[in-house]
Structure 1
Amino acid sequence: MARTVSELMTTHPTVVEVTDTLRAVAETMATQDVGALVVAEDGVVTGIVTDRDLVVRGLATGIGLDAPVGQLATGDPLTVAPDDDLVDVVRIMREQAVRRVPVVEGGQAVGILSIGDLAVALDPDSALADISEAPPND
């Protein structure tokens, strides 16, 4: 039987609104020790933002901390469904060179799947799996 996204995804992803400030988003990432958040408008997934986005698209270009996250989030992100086949999703992630995909059902984020999640489950002896399972740096 084929494995599905729901078996490996991180459930209950943190979702921020397109109008949330970069400061609030950065604080949320720091507090939750995550590197990516799902971006939504009125609860409907519209994008994803990473810690790298905050630095490269935000700080490096002079966008202020009070700017809305929707200004620099990756819009129209690749999304998958909880019942999608993992083999297909891994192939698509490789083809599109993405590290994380929101898992969406009815327009709402129900999870997020990362290459770290895949490494831990499918290649547990890899360096990426070790890093992904390590406790956060303090």
Structure 2
Amino acid sequence: MSTPDIGKRAGDIMHSGAECVGEHESLRTAAQMMRDLSVGALPICGDDDRLKGIITDRDIVVKCCAEGRDLDGTTTGELAHGLVWVAADSDMEEALMKMEQHQIKRLPVIENHRIVGMISEADLAKELPDSKLAEFVHRVYAGA
């Protein structure tokens, strides 16, 4: 993908205030948080307040409900995946590259070892020219 020529950093384009779900919380709690926050993914943080992964609404459906697992007895930490993140001071090119390389649609943003926000497709849609956004979407969904 060619370099976006907009000079913005990950911290400039993210939506701030990403709420973590604890790694020992149940999947039901995670689902309720997603509902209340109107989001489809949550970062998972450990007792040390450090990022452990991310969980999506799809993870809960496919890896718990469809498998007949207990929403209250399964913790978010058991399904944690995707320990991919970007530093807040990284340029937008790095964020795009990580999202494309890992074929992910949401990317946690870290500053001083703590999560400070998330970059989503909607955030990119506000920043990228249509042609760059189309190229990004094609690359991320190519293997889906």
**In the alignment, structure 1 residue 55 sits paired with structure 2 residue 52:** no
Mapped partners of 2:28, 2:102: distance in 1:
29
User: Alpha carbons of 1:126 and 1:30: their partners in 2 closer, same or farther (altered >3 Å)?
Assistant: farther
Aligned-pair CA distance for 1:126: 9.9
User: Alpha carbons of 1:16 and 1:88: their partners in 2 closer, same or farther (altered >3 Å)?
Assistant: same
Q: Secondary structure at the match of 2:87?
A: coil
Aligned-pair CA distance for 1:114: 1.0
Mapped partners of 1:127, 1:96: distance in 2:
17
What corresponds to 2:108 in structure 1? 102
Structure 1: which 5+ runs fail to align? 129-138
Normalization by structure 2: what TM-score? 0.80
Structure 2: which 5+ runs fail to align? 1-5, 135-144
Q: Secondary structure at the match of 2:99?
A: helix
Q: Residue 25 of structure 1 is aligned with which of 30, 48, 52? A: 30
Q: Secondary structure at the match of 2:86?
A: coil
What corresponds to 2:98 in structure 1? 92
Aligned-pair CA distance for 1:17: 0.6
Q: Residue 81 of structure 2 is aligned with which of 74, 79, 83? A: 74
- CA deviations on 1:37-86 (whole Å, 9 max, x unpaired) are 010102111110011111111111122111111111215x1110111000
Amino acid aligned to 2:11: S
What corresponds to 1:5 in structure 2? 10
Q: Secondary structure at the match of 1:61?
A: coil
What corresponds to 2:118 in structure 1? 112
Aligned-pair CA distance for 1:125: 9.5
Q: Secondary structure at the match of 1:74?
A: coil
Q: Contact (CA 8 Å) 2:124, 2:133: kept in 1 or not?
A: no
Q: Secondary structure at the match of 1:3?
A: coil
Q: Contact (CA 8 Å) 1:119, 1:126: kept in 2 or not?
A: no
The RMSD of aligned alpha carbons is: 2.1
User: Alpha carbons of 1:127 and 1:89: their partners in 2 closer, same or farther (altered >3 Å)?
Assistant: closer
Amino acid aligned to 2:58: R
Q: Secondary structure at the match of 1:98?
A: coil
Aligned-pair CA distance for 1:94: 1.0
Q: Contact (CA 8 Å) 1:53, 1:73: kept in 2 or not?
A: no
Name the % identity: 34
